[in-house]
A and B are shown apart, each in its own frame.
Chain A
């Protein structure tokens, strides 16, 4: 349905996004996650044909967005970051205009407008001027605009931005319910939000697509293995020998030596078990440990580290392992994929 190929956009020769490729073929909620300025809006503007890419192509339902814009745009409902509303119209007038522009048949316009107003809960304000509506209602008028003409794809740029908690919950519920029979692509810079409502997550930072996978896997990907750090008076060779003898720890790294004290860190799946084993191994060899620390990161910290610590994008080995679906999970994970051949089935 959506096929994005090597998108690149430069503003006066400075790239703001590059090498963005993904394919979406199944209905569901797809979250674009990334800090502000990561290139989410730019990518969405290109997908919807509001902005031309410097390089790369976008295909919507087999129609190239530049070559056959009208066919492609008929399949998309788009809500930009700032809802594009005519302030001097009422929601009903506004929606009628958009429905007609999307090519909805004359006798169906009224029904469709009515239905989208009911779905988004704006029926009570349908005859008030949009400029007099609250921000939450304006946002909902914007969302109901995307439903007109029954587009298969709905793209929402930060749909919950600037709303109060109750409104946020309502919009999230709406997005989730729409995801059952649409492809919903929405962006957010809040990780919990993306995690809460999306089936699939794509993390964008510094204009690159870092991760693309199922929401459950996001946590597994972000929550890297726990890291343990030790300091000991044992010399490097002996300590490494001891550490290698302990089962269940990996990636043993020597961090340096200062005044006879050596420092190491390593990862373990079971951090408590590993800590005990290391302690017992050193004790058994009559070696002392000066310190043994757990280094744990919250999901949020891990996300921040992933997205902000990058000056240039270096492919992470774990990222690629995520992009390749496990054989058993093939059917589901394939829907979002960094490689096009994975996206075709399902």
Chain B
């Protein structure tokens, strides 16, 4: 696995991707620090990080887009398949390399609050808790990006698709305000979501029985609960969409609160997406 990490880092920092990612992230961290802390005079580094977190929308896809799609395009995935290394090892190795590429600029950003301390008082605890959450948010988005990269052999499509998914998680909480809040609409939307999940499942596994079960189960369970107590469904779909928003979870750290639930949420997202990435790769061997 160390070997895979080394190879990935070598590729990141030999080309421009690793440097580009780090440079842009640092440049914006600098700009936002000047704007938020120096010009506007906010005495908290967490505001800076909160404001610049949307940069991830563009930067994380740049970091993850080529991770697996390029292996497919150059047919080097065949080499990985034929080497005595397991698929989880390959995926985790690649992911850790991405995390290291992300960690380097984050560590450098870690010096900013210390510099700011020289010019005024700010809570270091809040700043570093938020920086940790900032890193976790990036790590979760990177896991999603890695998975998206395993779906196509075209880097540009991988980047675009990751961007679209990230945009959804970014605006997810805002969108919920425009969703109908009635119980009937929520029921219909949740059933539709169940069908979409079933279709994705079918596309990934080509298992029609499993997909049919998901549809049948979501329809019966949802209508059963609806019959028993329709009140729960009021605004439920909006809540469901809102809960998918990774950025919303990150904002919970804004006041320097260590939100354990959010950390567990981020870690589950990472594990889930790495798991389906391994499956997405294994599937290619079986199809």
A interface list, Cβ under 8 A from B = 11, 45, 48-52, 69-71, 73-74, 76, 78, 80, 82, 84-89, 93, 97-98, 100-103, 145
Contacts and interface: CB of A to CB of B under 8 A. Distances in A.
A50 B7 contact: no
Nearest to A50: B81
Given A50-B285, A51-B285, A89-B11, A84 B74 contact: yes
12 contacts: A50-B82, A69-B84, A73-B83, A73-B84, A74-B84, A76-B82, A78-B82, A84-B75, A84-B76, A89-B10, A101-B83, A103-B84
Given A52-B285, A69-B84, A80 B11 contact: no
Contacts of A103: 84
B74 A93 contact: no
A153 B95 CA distance: 32
Interface of B: 3-4, 6-7, 10-11, 14-15, 74-79, 81-86, 285-287
Given A98-B83, A102-B83, A50 B78 contact: yes
Contacts of A89: 10-11, 14
Given A50-B285, A52-B285, A86 B83 contact: no
A145 B79 CA distance: 10
A93 B286 CA distance: 31
Contacts of A80: 75, 78-79, 82
A49 B81 contact: yes
A86 B11 contact: yes
A85 B83 contact: no
Nearest to B11: A88
Most A CB atoms within 10 A — which of B83, B286, B287?
B83
B84 A101 contact: yes
Contacts of B76: 84-86
| Among all A-B residue pairs, the 4 with the closest Cβ atoms | A84-B79, A73-B84, A50-B81, A100-B3
A101 B3 contact: yes
Given A80-B75, A80-B78, A98-B79, A88 B286 contact: no
A49 B74 contact: no
Nearest to A45: B78
A80 B85 CA distance: 17
A318 B287 CA distance: 36
Given A52-B285, A97-B3, A100-B3, A82 B75 contact: yes
Given A51-B285, A86-B11, A100-B3, A70 B84 contact: yes
A10 to B, nearest CB: 11
Nearest to B81: A50
B82 A49 contact: yes
Nearest to B285: A52
A97 B86 CA distance: 15
A89 B14 CA distance: 9
B279 to A, nearest CB: 14
A80 B75 CA distance: 9
A184 B86 CA distance: 25
Nearest to B2: A100
Nearest to A78: B82
Contacts of A71: 84
B74 A85 contact: yes
A87 B82 contact: no
A141 to B, nearest CB: 12
Contacts of B74: 84-87
Given A69-B86, A71-B84, A73-B82, 6 more contacts: A50-B78, A74-B84, A84-B74, A86-B76, A97-B6, A101-B85
A69 B79 CA distance: 14
Contact of A97 (B7, B14, B81, B285): B7
Contacts of B85: 70, 101
B65 to A, nearest CB: 15
Given A73-B83, A102-B83, A52 B10 contact: no
B79 A70 contact: no
A102 B14 CA distance: 23
B80 to A, nearest CB: 8
A294 B165 CA distance: 72
Contacts of A101: 3-4, 83-85
A256 to B, nearest CB: 51
A102 B285 CA distance: 20
Contacts of A88: 11, 14-15
Contacts of A84: 74-79
Contacts of B10: 89, 93
Nearest to A11: B287
Contacts of B287: 11
Contacts of B6: 97
Most A CB atoms within 10 A — which of B3, B7, B79?
B79
